[in-house]
Amino acid sequence: MQQQTGTTRRNVSKGALWSVPIVSIATAAPAAAASPSCAPGVVDWDALATGTLVGQTTVNGTTLTVTSTVSNDRNLRVTAGPQGGISQKYLAFSFSPNVAARDTQTITFTFSRPVTNVSFTLLDLETVGTGTSGTTGFREGFSLSSGFTVRSRGSRVTGSGTAADPFTNTGSALPTETAGNVGISYAGPLTSFSITYSNLFSTNYDLYILAGISDISFTPVC
């Protein structure tokens, strides 16, 4: 297994904190857009400062609200790539050091109006260690709310993305690799979808674990 480096991976010191204040932000639509646009939109994480804690962001008059059942200094923050083979910024999902065995969090994305053609990539599922008695490690899992289609999957991704059979990776991955990614689409119309992020091992892990989501594209219903 290759040792990872860098603050976007797992081996981050337990006390490390972002220097950006913890705030919920909203990106305003241009003043000329008096009413919501019917054009397709993209939630582009590169448009936000690294370290921003995302609560709401608005694209072409459609507001996306992001919430999680877990709060820590890295969760739901805009984070610099590479991650999952993409060099752009992404929105991080994170568990703090000493993440509990079988721990989960649910991240919910809610649009201010119905949308269709929602598309994104889940980034960098990974398994480290064996998780057997007397060892430490983690196995990341993703399951999603119903109605999704798998557009693509990394070479080591297994599972169907349901609560009973979450997506996971059979091995580790470098930040520049796509082996742990899953491309997802929702045809819609919908106003929200959710992702459950889990440590599937039955042992605790003493460092941060980190995955994330790429830019999100969508088409408003008008």
- Residue-wise pLDDT for 51-60, tens only, equals 999 999 999 9
Report the pLDDT value the prediction gives residue 138, as an integer from 0 to 100. 84
Name the residue with higher pLDDT: 99 or 119: 119
pLDDT band of residue 66 (cuts 50, 70, 90) is very high
What pLDDT does 131 receive?
A: 60
Quick one: pLDDT at residue 4?
37
For residues 182 and 157, the answer to whether their CB atoms sit within 8 Å is: yes
Q: How far apart are CA 190 and CA 117, in angstroms?
A: 9
At 99, is the pLDDT very low, low, confident or very high (cuts 50, 70, 90)?
low
Q: How many Cβ atoms from other residues are within 10 Å of residue 72's Cβ?
A: 16
Q: Kindly report which listed range (4-13, 51-60, 80-89, 182-191) carries the lowest average pLDDT score.
A: 4-13
Structure confidence at residue 25 (pLDDT)? 43
Euclidean distance between CA atoms 191 and 111, whole angstroms: 5
pLDDT at 208: 77
